[in-house]
Structure 1
Amino acid sequence: MKLGELAETIGVDYRGPEREIDGIATLANAKERDLSFFDNPRYLRDLAETKAAAVLVHPRFADRVPPGTVALVDEEPYLKLALATALFAPDVMREDGAEPVVGEGSRIAEGVHMGRDVVIGEGVTIMPGCYLGDGVKIGDGTLLYPNVTVYHGCEIGALCIIHAGTVIGSDGYGFAHTKEGRHIKFHQLGRVVVEDDVEIGANCAIDRGALEETRIRRGTKIDNLVHIAHNCDIGEGVLLTGQVGLSGSTKLGRNVVMGGQSGTAGHLEVGDFATIAAKAGVTKSLSGGKTYAGFPIMEHRRWLKLQGLLSRLLENYLSQKKERR
């Protein structure tokens, strides 16, 4: 749509040169016909280098928008971006498009629903009750157990196993908040990509990217009841056990192991071959090759010493209390 029309629709004052806007993207990945936004100083370098046609930006950063990019200045840039996402949200049940293409040797059970432009590879098995939205792609030899849901635009690689009840591509938990306390939906425009040889347990939820993608890389194994939020990047060979929860934009390096009920805060990185003990809370980025435990998170040996110290303090306190009696 035209930039002027877009600005008027979301309530931003703009009287500059007209441009065509094709979509919404992050600062780093935006192209010449994309809208983007900026509201976090950690991304100042991305702002300086962006190729976006226009950027929603707070007044205090308006002068940092590079030449050739239009600054859409507003006190609430994230809120206005959320309003803009509604203009580019896809139709989740299209009437146009091609019929599904199913490769040789694939078995599709009765009761499977497939949308438009679905592509199924060779030797795929899809059991009853599964739903594949428009534009879904499934690689060769993949197995979907009953009642797996794959939302529109998502991609599953070859030789994957996805167990019953798992949902791939559901909306990430994204809302902008008005001054009056209303919560405005940030329509999730990205997708999920699951690479080859990934196994995902039962009743997991993997959210689609807000603007781009959530990616589960090759060889990762995910237990039951795991939640992966929008924009996460899960490295190769990662092991996530039951009830792990990852907040948005978490990045796990290769062969990270996370114990049961452990979780991360958002926008952090865990290095290659790190191990997170059960119930640990990851509140900061962590180096690879180490074992961590506790909340707040610390190296496992340090956590053990802390537990021993607390135990001795408690024993001393109880002993002194008994003597006073």
Structure 2
Amino acid sequence: MATIKELAAMVDGILAGDGDVMVTGLNDLERAGPQEVTFLADHKLADKLARCRAGALIISPPLAEQCTIPAGMALIKVSNPYLAATRIQNFLLATPFAPTGVHPGALIGEDCSIPEEVSIAAGAVLGHRVRLGRRVKLEAGVVVGDDSVIGDDVVLHANVTVYPRSVLGNRVIVHSGSVLGSDGFGYATDRQGNHHKRAHLGIVRIEDDVEIGANCCVDRGTFGETLIKSGAKIDNLVQIGHNVVVGENTLIVAQAGIAGSTVLDRQVVLGGQVALNGHLRIGAGVMVAAKSGVHNDQEPGAVVSGMPAIEHKKWLRASIAFGKLPDLVREVRELRRQVATLSADNQANNNSGKESGDE
């Protein structure tokens, strides 16, 4: 719990109204009660304010001037209401880590380093020489391979698999079913068409503050590392190939796939179902629209769409043109018919002229 005044100070907001009201949580405009705070980031939702019962509203100053605020509702004015609401909600939901220790049903290998401040659930399996940081939480069915290193405040949800020698930094979150460190997709094909598996001797390294969604796969390097840099956020069902580098604070949306040895610089955004070819360099701040296929390097700041991906505005124009293709085909057919008719008429006139001349 905290007072509205304390929450406003936390997000560097400007307080208007009674700041001494104690609030216990954050909720949306329709559900928030008098002891809760809510937020408005989109003018399209302003009509919901009339029925809102929240004790305080997080809102931008320009939007506050455009809206009718219910009487008695305190305001926390900030430039980015969505960000401020996220920070406040995280603060209100935060609970101290409560270590439960190692469950008797967990299997721990030899020479592991496990602090007292951990929670390891039944069915978790740690290989040999695993090193855990403080306040690590391993849920049921988690498997951590030999010689892996896991930093402080890491949460591995149920049935996460971490292959041997993987390295996870601090405050990493991995959701259920994800696999870190599996073999990359690499084969050599002989003249008979047989595929011979290549050994993958590298590792996966995950830096601090990375979150990986459910059912993702991050392959280890053929040699060296597959590297997910600090602050990257990866949605569900994402495939990251061997020796890929994902830059700081990059966002990768569900069902995207990155082929081996591609490097993403910082703050790249990949939309859902985006596919990146291997051995590419994607510059800082690049944005790739959903379902695009990228086959070449991208300069920093580029915004691309389509398959193959091209400059976004050009793709939009091409998409509009594509929708007109049936009409264009009909027009071309009609023009061809008219040309054929004119040509036939012209040929007939020429033939008629020749016959007149012969007479």
Q: TM-score range by the shorter chain?
A: 0.5 to 0.7
Aligned position for 2:323:
311
Percent of aligned pairs sharing the same letter = 43
| 1:107 aligned onto 2:119 | yes
> Which of 121, 125, 128 is equivalent to 2:140?
128
| 1:154 aligned onto 2:166 | yes
- The Cα of 1:164 is off from its aligned counterpart by 0.2
| 1:291 aligned onto 2:323 | no
Kept in 2, the 8 Å contact 1:258–1:277? The answer is yes
Describe the superposition over 1:188-218 as per-residue Cα deviations: whole angstroms up to 9, x where unpaired.
1000000000000000000000011100000
Structure with larger RCO (C-alpha < 8 A, sep 6+):
1
Aligned position for 1:143:
155
CA RMSD after TM alignment: 1.7
- What SS does structure 2 have at the residue aligned with 1:102? coil
For residues 309 and 137 of structure 2, the distance between their equivalents in structure 1, rounded to whole angstroms, comes to: 42
Structure ranking higher in helix proportion: 2
Letter in structure 2 aligned against 1:257: V
- The Cα of 1:179 is off from its aligned counterpart by 2.1
| 1:272 aligned onto 2:284 | yes
CA, structure 1 residues 317+177, in 2 after alignment: closer, same or farther (shift >3 Å)? closer
Describe the superposition over 1:136-178 as per-residue Cα deviations: whole angstroms up to 9, x where unpaired.
1111001000000000000111101100000000000111122
- What SS does structure 1 have at the residue aligned with 2:324? helix
Uncovered stretches (5+) of structure 1, i.e. residues with no partner: 1-96
Aligned position for 1:171:
183
Mapping 1:135-284, distance limit 5 Å: 135-284=147-296
- The Cα of 1:100 is off from its aligned counterpart by 1.4
Describe the superposition over 1:95-145 as per-residue Cα deviations: whole angstroms up to 9, x where unpaired.
xx9421112311111111101110000001000000000001111001000
Kept in 2, the 8 Å contact 1:104–1:121? The answer is no
Deviates more, 1:165-174 or 1:312-321: 312-321
Letter in structure 1 aligned against 2:224: E
- The Cα of 1:310 is off from its aligned counterpart by 2.2
Letter in structure 1 aligned against 2:314: R
For residues 281 and 274 of structure 2, the distance between their equivalents in structure 1, rounded to whole angstroms, comes to: 15
- What SS does structure 2 have at the residue aligned with 1:122? coil
Mapping 1:26-175, distance limit 5 Å: 98-175=110-187
For residues 197 and 307 of structure 1, the distance between their equivalents in structure 2, rounded to whole angstroms, comes to: 38
Kept in 2, the 8 Å contact 1:257–1:273? The answer is yes
For residues 325 and 236 of structure 2, the distance between their equivalents in structure 1, rounded to whole angstroms, comes to: 38
For residues 132 and 301 of structure 1, the distance between their equivalents in structure 2, rounded to whole angstroms, comes to: 46
TM-score, normalized by length of structure 1?
A: 0.67
Larger radius of gyration: 2
- What SS does structure 2 have at the residue aligned with 1:192? strand
Kept in 2, the 8 Å contact 1:101–1:119? The answer is yes
- What SS does structure 1 have at the residue aligned with 2:226? strand
Describe the superposition over 1:3-47 as per-residue Cα deviations: whole angstroms up to 9, x where unpaired.
xxxxxxxxxxxxxxxxxxxxxxxxxxxxxxxxxxxxxxxxxxxxx
Letter in structure 1 aligned against 2:311: E
Describe the superposition over 1:223-261 as per-residue Cα deviations: whole angstroms up to 9, x where unpaired.
000000000000000000000000000100100000000
For residues 133 and 262 of structure 2, the distance between their equivalents in structure 1, rounded to whole angstroms, comes to: 30
Aligned position for 1:300:
312
Letter in structure 2 aligned against 1:311: G
For residues 280 and 161 of structure 1, the distance between their equivalents in structure 2, rounded to whole angstroms, comes to: 28
- The Cα of 1:319 is off from its aligned counterpart by 6.3
Uncovered stretches (5+) of structure 2, i.e. residues with no partner: 1-108, 338-359
